[in-house]
Structure 1
Amino acid sequence: MALWRRALLLALALLLLCGGAQAEAKRVFIVSSYHPEYQWERDYLQALSARLSPRCQLAFYNLDSKRQPADQVAKRARIALERVRVFHPDLVIVGDDAALKNVGTVLAPSGVPVIFLGINNNPRNYFPGGMPGNVSGVLERPLLLRNLFELGHAVPGAHRALALFDTDLTSAVIRDETFLGHDSIRVGDIDVDMAMLDSFADWKKQVLAAPGRYQVIWVGLYFTLKDDKGKVMNGEEVVRWTAQNAKLPLFAFWDFAVGRGKAAGGLVLTGREQGEEAAKMAEAVLFKGKSLAAMFPLVPSQGQFLFSRSALQRYRVRLPARIESKASWLE
């Protein structure tokens, strides 16, 4: 056979092989609860894409549940379900409680594998008839109690602390799960009050009135706070105002609230880790033939001590050696 014919046949074979591989790419639809500008969501979407995109065709849709009213979130959930139906995915990933509640529960009876991440509630609460065998994922368990205990004792004389949250679904779950449905909880010898607020005006009042009653403040979630006109505030504006005006040491539960001009630090969770763990589960299902029924929901880690040197200096906080030796630093 002439050399050129052999080369032509080889090229055709490679073309067919590559075309077949492309046709066999797994299809994954990712429904997120919030919006891409939200760092938590951005971080886990980047982690999912980095791990899955080389071998999967990905599609995305977000519910924008922190900025939209409930009726619009329900409408967006219906749009998400229709887009999933048209896409014919091999697997669906739902990020955070709103997406699992509004989309994952509807998809589960179809039999498509559904992997969740960032879930604060007990996922079984979304499935009254029992957790389906095609659903599992990654839980988000903010380490509030350990965070409060460890860093509360880094502030000399601290015996009362304030934890600030918005009124989003995640905040409500934290109140029920961690604060046992109460407004206050005792952690070691520190009394912690949880304030769930709807408006930025009320948030500012809490921060400004804190000295005298409290010795330390924790920033929780603040992405559904509304301004005087009822518009949802920009989260960066909220946390930076809080850091600038707080007269007490300011700590955080999530990494997005830590940094220069923000909270000093904390034992935090990251969206990146949630995305990486969910992607590993997806790979096991798509490429190793594993069943979600045999994969129990997991909590990925014990968190990360993350701090800003400039913020610690501003609040004149000196970390205990046992924390400083394990800490990561933003600057």
Structure 2
Amino acid sequence: MNSHWWHLVLIVGLLCSLGAACSSVPATEMPEPSESVTPLPLLSKPLRLFLVYSYSPAAPRSGEIRLGILETLARQGYNFFENTLELGEFSLNITAETAPEELASLAQEAVQAIQNYSPDVVIVLNDEAARAVIPVYPDLNRPFVFCGLKGNPQDYGLNRPNVTGVLEHPYPLQTARMAMEITQKQDNFMVLGDDSPVGKTIISEVYRQLIADTTLESRPELRITSRWEEWQQLVLKEAAASDFILLVGYSGLQDREGNTISDREALQWTLQNAPVPVFGLWAEATHEGAVGGLALTQYEQGVTAAEMSLHIAQGASPSSLLATQPARNILTLNFAAVEHWELHIPLAFLTTARIYRRFPAPEEGGR
């Protein structure tokens, strides 16, 4: 098969696989809300919802999930202005320095807060809070919806009749094939992630999928670390021998003094200093300067969690709702990164991608 036909087959195959996981969206800088499902009958009383955060509610990932939840509920008629929604919240504020004993104590505080509020549904954000709070909650009649779960629910003790939720499992094969087509290189690429418990879980699964696919032309090379200085050396020196970097996670990095490097700092530094193009599995990476990827968004996870919660509030048993991925994920491209790396994008990608235009990532200001 000659080069022209090989590229055509690769693009068609990739777009078919993308179509199964994401829907077409306009080229725009701002996220757009998902199409709402058919509205359910409005409850005869306000919906009482309780959110449990792993990290600070002000963290970008927490905020995006929360926004997806609240906007979805508003489209279904539940909001604060008409008194159709009542919201309780509790944050574990977990950091890399949080000791297991402290986490157990925080989990009990969360349990008490939930019991005091007596919500219709509890939504628990991210892995740490899910595995700390849900298994120790004593009442199996209280419905829980986890959201943004990277690990296996059974491994976390979440296989309970009152629990369902939204999984956060990325699409590494599709993104790697996309990167190979855009860079026109098929030798090797670096799979880079952090060594935190959650980070290790997700990058191990990503790498397993990559090496299990015998049709993948390029060779993935796994690199994991929790040390910031080692991370910097991997990016600055070792990555130069790779075709591109597949960036998985960067939440558990620490400097020599044991201080945690913020997600934003780690991402921006990596994008600014990488000697080869970076492709990401989450939309925030492309937004900040990665070339692109078939991306997960926290907003869409919030949308799915809200829809599940409404079905439960209407009488559905959590056990009847299978844990699932968000219904909608997005193909992302960053035109500024494409221009920086002097890459050429197949026209077929441009018709389905959400477009960003930020590169390099700014060092100041928040999202």
TM-score range, shorter chain: 0.7 to 0.9
2:87 corresponds to:
58
Q: Residues of 1 paired with 2:209 and 2:108: CA distance? A: 31
Measured at CA, do residues 140 and 295 of structure 1 come closer, stay the same or move farther in structure 2, by a change above 3 Å?
A: same
Which of 280, 286, 297 matches 1:270?
297
The 8 Å contact of residues 190 and 221 in structure 2, kept in 1 or not, is answered as: yes
Task: Report what 1:250 is aligned to.
Answer: 278
Q: Which amino acid is 2:163 matched to?
A: V
In the superposition, relative to structure 1, how do residues 220 and 182 fare at CA in structure 2: closer, same or farther (>3 Å)?
A: closer
How far does residue 151 in structure 1 lie from its aligned partner after superposition? 1.6
- Name the structure 1 match of 2:340: 314
Are 1:125 and 2:155 an aligned pair? yes
- Please name the residue that 1:201 is paired with: 229
Partners of 1:22 and 1:182 in 2: CA distance: 46
Number of the residue aligned with 2:62 = 41
Cα offset, 1:91, TM superposition: 1.4
Task: Return the match for 1:236 from 264, 281, 295.
Answer: 264
Unpaired runs of 5+ residues, structure 1, are 1-20
Q: Is the 8 A contact 2:145 2:309 kept in 1?
A: yes
| Of 292, 317, 326, the match for 1:291 | 317
Following superposition, the deviation at residue 79 of structure 1 comes to 1.8
Does 1:221 find its partner at 2:249? Answer: yes
1:3 matched residue in structure 2: none
Give CA-to-partner distance per residue, 1:224-248, whole Å, 9 cap, x none. Answer: 2112221111222211211221110
Distance 1:212 1:176 in 2: 23
Tell whether 2:29 aligns with 1:29. no
What letter is aligned with 1:292? P
CA contact (8 A) 2:203 2:248 kept: no
Where 2:87 maps in the other structure, the secondary structure is strand
**Same amino acid, percent of matched pairs:** 25
Structure 1 residues 108 and 264: CA distance shift in structure 2, 3 A: farther
The 2-side partners of 1:176 and 1:207 are apart by 19
> Which of the numbers 86, 99, 103 marks the counterpart of 2:133?
103
Residues 272 and 86 (structure 1), Cα distance of their counterparts in 2 relative to 1, 3 Å cut: same
Residue from 73, 85, 103 that aligns with 2:115: 85
- Distance in 2, matches of 1:305 and 1:76, equals 38
- Greater RCO structure (CA 8 Å; 6+ sep): 2
1:210-268, Cα deviation, whole Å (9 max, x unpaired): 355311012221122112221111222211211221110111111111235x3122111
Tell me what 1:188 maps to: 216
Aligned match of 1:76: 106
Q: Indicate the structure (1 or 2) with the bigger Cα radius of gyration.
A: 1
1:268 and 1:214 map into 2 onto residues whose CA distance is 22
Out of 309-318 and 275-284, give the one that drifted further: 309-318
Q: Displaced runs of 4+ in structure 1, greater than 4 A?
A: 181-187
CA shift in 2, pair 1:181/1:313, >3 Å: closer
SS at match of 1:178: helix
Q: Structure 1 CA distance, aligned partners of 2:214 and 2:315?
A: 46
Aligned to 1:279: 306
Q: Which amino acid aligns with 1:301?
A: A
Q: Secondary structure at the match of 1:258?
A: helix
User: Following the alignment from structure 1 to structure 2, what is the Cα–Cα distance between the partners of residues 212 and 91?
Assistant: 49
Name the structure 1 match of 2:18: none
Paired residues in the alignment total: 307
Q: Secondary structure of the equivalent of 2:257?
A: coil
Q: Is the 8 A contact 1:97 1:120 kept in 2?
A: yes
Q: Does the aligned pair in 2 maintain the 1:259–1:311 contact within 8 Å? A: no
Deviations 1:106-145 (A, max 9, x none): 22643200111111222122238xx222111111111112
Distance 2:130 2:175 in 1: 27
Distance in 2 of aligned mates of 1:59 and 1:184:
44
CA RMSD in angstroms comes to 2.6
Q: 1:98: Cα distance to partner?
A: 1.4
1:164 equivalenced with 2:192 (yes/no): yes
Matched, 1:113 2:136: no
1:181 and 1:188, CA in 2 relative to 1: closer, same or farther beyond 3 A? closer
My pick for the range that moved more, 277-286 or 78-87, is: 78-87
Aligned AA for 1:40? Answer: R
Q: CA deviation at 1:170?
A: 2.6
Structure 2 contact 134–144 (Cα < 8 Å) conserved: yes
| TM-score normalised by the chain length of structure 1 | 0.84
